[in-house]
């Protein structure tokens, strides 16, 4: 037995202590202070020491554990079979080494089996026990053997089935997966917490873990938690499938959500290529956080032969970890952008730092309330993340690194671009410049005006608009219609043909319907749907401009907030001058799909179900709404009639049960044309 150097023994003890502390913060407190990258680095260092000097291994070493002990606030629950963790691979070479370790045990069997690759969801692990297909218990991972019983909380997650679909469910089975928070839900949660004066969550994983462990299930029910399943195990340790791919398909058939982008791979090279694509292309477009992919031997017979290493990790699976999407750097300054609606959006000016393979200098800070809630100060060291967002954002400060020279920040009271007063509207968390003609609104406003869902001016890119502004050719959206081919060809990188095409696209945009113009104007709170509802209801811009806020708010789907914003816009002299300018340029001010005031379906509530012979669902809905009707997604006694096509669903059954009239497409077209018995 080799002699253990004193320094090495001391280092092993330090690592055990540091990793145990980090596990407690991560699993129990849900407040990690050690990054995933640093944790992995320390964990590997301890593994290497214990491999070289086995006598240094202790019973409480983090290398023998998966999680942390359960909290006393919940009842403990023993898992049917121990929940394991995964070893990590950080590049293709380590994936190849993983396969070589498998080949030493099972030989060519691995090549016949192949692999299943899946997203590694950055959430909180959960085990769902189903008895005869009915959910009876849900428990956290805990220490891998026992977890916390959080059944009442898990029952509030809508995409976890309380009863499995289909047939053939084992008498007793534990389904394992991750509870997570989509980015959009996470942002909404934090906005609500800011409004309530509560501290914001640092990241979606912490928020998901904290939500699962609420003592009051009604609080969990308010959180937009989601779930992905990835495994199932029977009491004897077997699996209700022959392969991992078959298991995922079976879980999906039973109603268990399974993560997208999974793939069968015949070789480890294919698995590596999949991981590269996910990390560098797919990851940024996902609506939820991942920290890597998981490569699993596909055949369970081969998995069984490979077994488990050190009672902690399976030999048949490895986590292909991705570059960290979070880093720490200094927040040099908080600056402000002015958006197309006049909203003042603070952003962080950072010391450049590499995050997820990209150099980050700027990051989103959302709004002043979140800056205050996170206690961000100029000069702070901050955590920056690039998970699922093109624009990075700041999670929060690192208070222990403060020197005392950091400076608190407040939203300016005057617009930094034009000096006009800054205001808040009602309970809105954002602050706005009150000047409709603010120069700070020009670029973003023009980009929005020309966008596909607005005036759809092909060729008028962000860079082109910046050129026009820099040259002084445009100051507002109406000026676009004055731009000539000669002016464009005088600018850099504008050939004659591209100039002619752009001018033609601008001229063609004059014929866009009112709904697109209204959306393109960038009125606060008016999205594409609201613009369409208003345009179809009033038919013309002039009719809308003369309407009161109450009349605007009476339009179905338009609430008081949108109505007040639209009325305020039309009352602004600068806005009215812009509209008159657009009128003189011949921009269309009417809506061809306007609702008929006394249409054949006026006052009718109509449901659509099934596939119609010639009309798409969207075309049928547009036909009904133009004729004055309202589309409903459910059937009740108040439903006027149901339009049913082939393979009609539950709406048809409900209509028959309630005695609601049912018609086909032919009768719908006849009634829309003014035939008898329209309503």
Residue 179 has pLDDT above 90, yes or no: yes
Same domain membership, residue 312 and residue 195: yes
Note the helical H segments in 244-381: 244-253, 268-277, 300-306, 368-374
Helix count and strand count (H, E) for the chain: 25, 26
Same domain membership, residue 302 and residue 234: yes
pLDDT of amino acid 678: 47
- Are 265 and 293 in contact by the 8 Å Cβ rule? The answer is no
- Give percent of the chain above pLDDT 90: 47
Residue 390 has pLDDT above 70, yes or no: no
Same domain membership, residue 459 and residue 379: no
Q: Is residue 173 part of a domain?
A: yes
- Are 530 and 558 in contact by the 8 Å Cβ rule? The answer is yes
Name the catalytic one among 120, 374, 417, 651: 120
Residue that wins the pLDDT comparison between 638 and 479: 479
Same domain membership, residue 666 and residue 558: no
Mean pLDDT, rounded, for 326-341: 88
Same domain membership, residue 503 and residue 523: no
pLDDT of amino acid 499: 93
pLDDT of amino acid 597: 60
Same domain membership, residue 500 and residue 482: yes
- Are 37 and 48 in contact by the 8 Å Cβ rule? The answer is no
pLDDT-derived band at 679, boundaries 50, 70, 90 = very low
Mean pLDDT, rounded, for 503-523: 95
Same domain membership, residue 518 and residue 505: no
Question: What pTM value is reported for the model?
Answer: 0.54
The mean of the pLDDT values for the chain is 87
Same domain membership, residue 252 and residue 201: yes
Residue 171 sits in a domain of what CATH number?
3.30.470.30
Residue 393 sits in a domain of what CATH number?
2.40.50.140
Residue 677 has pLDDT above 60, yes or no: no
- Are 92 and 267 in contact by the 8 Å Cβ rule? The answer is no
pLDDT of amino acid 388: 47
Q: Alpha-carbon distance 11 to 142, whole Å?
A: 27
- Are 346 and 373 in contact by the 8 Å Cβ rule? The answer is no
* pLDDT tens digits for range 288-299: 889 899 999 999
Same domain membership, residue 231 and residue 106: yes
pLDDT of amino acid 40: 81
Same domain membership, residue 547 and residue 488: no
* pLDDT tens digits for range 413-423: 999 989 999 99
pLDDT of amino acid 222: 86
Q: Is residue 204 part of a domain?
A: yes
* Domain termination site, one of 321, 353, 380: 321
Domain of 485? 439-509
Q: Is residue 71 part of a domain?
A: no
First-to-last CA distance in the chain?
Answer: 92
* pLDDT tens digits for range 92-123: 999 999 999 999 999 999 999 999 999 999 99
pLDDT of amino acid 1: 55
Residue 628 sits in a domain of what CATH number?
3.40.50.10190
Which residues contact residue 580 at a Cβ distance below 8 angstroms, ignoring those fewer than 6 apart?
none
* The two structure tokens encoding residue 29: 């407190």
pLDDT of amino acid 357: 66
Q: CA–CA distance from 649 to each of 623, 630, 632 (Å)?
A: 21, 20, 15
User: Locate tokens 């793939």: which residue?
Assistant: 263
pLDDT-derived band at 269, boundaries 50, 70, 90 = very high
Which residues contact residue 132 at a Cβ distance below 8 angstroms, ignoring those fewer than 6 apart?
169, 171
Residue 228 has pLDDT above 80, yes or no: yes
* The two structure tokens encoding residue 129: 């026990």
Domain count, the chain: 6
Q: Which 8-state DSSP code applies to residue 525?
A: T
* pLDDT tens digits for range 12-44: 888 888 887 776 566 545 567 777 777 888 888
pLDDT of amino acid 29: 54
* pLDDT tens digits for range 342-365: 889 899 999 998 876 678 898 888
Clarify whether 626 is annotated catalytic.
no
Same domain membership, residue 232 and residue 131: yes
Residue 470 sits in a domain of what CATH number?
1.10.150.20
pLDDT of amino acid 567: 94
Same domain membership, residue 214 and residue 90: yes
pLDDT of amino acid 579: 95
* pLDDT tens digits for range 41-64: 888 888 889 888 888 887 667 775
């Amino acid at each position: 037995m080799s002699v253990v150097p004193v320094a090495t023994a001391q280092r092993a003890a330090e690592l055990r202590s540091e990793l145990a502390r980090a596990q407690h913060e991560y699993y129990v407190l849900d407040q990690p202070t050690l990054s995933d990258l640093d944790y992995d680095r320390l964990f590997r260092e301890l593994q290497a020491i214990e491999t070289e000097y086995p006598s240094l291994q202790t019973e409480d070493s983090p290398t023998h554990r998966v999680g942390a002990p359960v909290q006393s606030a919940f009842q403990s629950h023993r898992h049917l079979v121990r929940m394991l963790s995964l070893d990590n691979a950080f590049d293709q070479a380590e994936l190849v080494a993983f396969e070589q370790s498998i080949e030493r045990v099972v030989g060519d069997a691995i090549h016949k089996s192949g692999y299943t690759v899946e997203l590694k969801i950055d959430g909180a692990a959960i085990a769902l026990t189903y008895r005869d297909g009915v959910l009876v218990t849900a428990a956290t991972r805990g220490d891998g053997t026992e977890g916390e019983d959080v059944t009442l909380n898990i029952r509030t997650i809508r995409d976890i089935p309380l009863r499995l679909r289909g047939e053939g469910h084992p008498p007793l089975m534990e389904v394992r997966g991750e509870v997570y928070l989509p980015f959009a839900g996470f942002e909404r949660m934090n906005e609500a917490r800011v409004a309530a004066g509560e501290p914001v969550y640092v990241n979606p994983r912490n928020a998901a873990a904290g939500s699962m462990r609420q003592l009051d299930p009604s609080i969990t029910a308010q959180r937009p938690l989601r779930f992905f399943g990835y495994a199932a195990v029977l009491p004897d340790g077997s699996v209700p499938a022959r392969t991992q791919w078959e298991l995922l398909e079976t879980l999906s058939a039973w109603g268990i959500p399974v993560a997208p982008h999974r793939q069968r791979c015949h070789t480890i090279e294919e698995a590596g290529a999949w991981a590269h694509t996910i990390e560098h292309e797919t990851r940024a477009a996902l609506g939820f956080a991942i920290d890597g992919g998981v490569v699993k031997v596909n055949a369970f017979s081969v998995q069984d032969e490979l077994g488990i290493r050190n009672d902690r990790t399976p030999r048949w699976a490895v986590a292909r970890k991705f570059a960290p999407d979070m880093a720490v750097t200094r927040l040099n300054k908080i600056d402000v952008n002015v958006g197309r609606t006049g909203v003042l959006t603070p952003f962080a000016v950072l010391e450049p730092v590499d995050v997820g393979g990209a150099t980050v200098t700027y990051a989103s800070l959302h709004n002043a309330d979140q800056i205050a809630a996170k206690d961000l100060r100029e000069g702070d060291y901050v955590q920056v993340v690039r998970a699922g967002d093109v624009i990075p954002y700041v999670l929060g400060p690192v208070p222990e690194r403060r020197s005392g020279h950091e400076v608190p920040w407040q939203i300016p009271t005057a617009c930094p671009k034009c000096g006009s007063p800054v205001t808040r509207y009602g309970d809105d968390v954002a602050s706005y410049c009150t000047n409709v003609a603010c120069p700070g609104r020009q670029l973003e406003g023009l980009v929005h005006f020309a966008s596909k869902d607005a005036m759809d001016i092909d060729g008028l890119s962000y860079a082109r608009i910046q050129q026009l502004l820099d040259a002084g050719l445009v100051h507002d959206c109406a000026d676009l219609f004055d731009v000539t081919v000669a002016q464009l060809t005088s600018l850099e990188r504008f050939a004659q043909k591209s100039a002619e095409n752009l001018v033609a696209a601008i001229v063609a945009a004059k014929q866009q319907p009112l709904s697109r113009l209204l959306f393109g104007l960038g009125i606060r709170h008016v999205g594409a749907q609201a613009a369409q509802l208003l345009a179809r209801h009033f038919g013309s811009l002039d009719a809308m401009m003369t309407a009161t806020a109450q009349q605007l708010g009476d339009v179905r789907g338009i609430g008081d907030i949108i109505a007040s914003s639209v009325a305020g816009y039309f009352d602004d002299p600068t806005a009215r001058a812009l509209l008159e300018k657009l009128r003189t340029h011949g921009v269309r001010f009417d809506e061809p799909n306007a609702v008929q005031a006394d249409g054949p379906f006026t006052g009718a509530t109509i449901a659509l179900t099934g596939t119609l012979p010639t009309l798409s669902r969207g075309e049928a809905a547009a036909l009904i709404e133009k004729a004055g009707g309202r589309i409903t997604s459910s059937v009740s006694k108040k439903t006027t009639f149901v339009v049913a096509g082939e393979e009609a669903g539950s709406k048809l059954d409900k209509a028959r049960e309630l005695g609601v009239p049912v018609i086909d497409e032919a009768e719908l077209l006849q009634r829309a044309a003014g035939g008898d018995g329209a309503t």
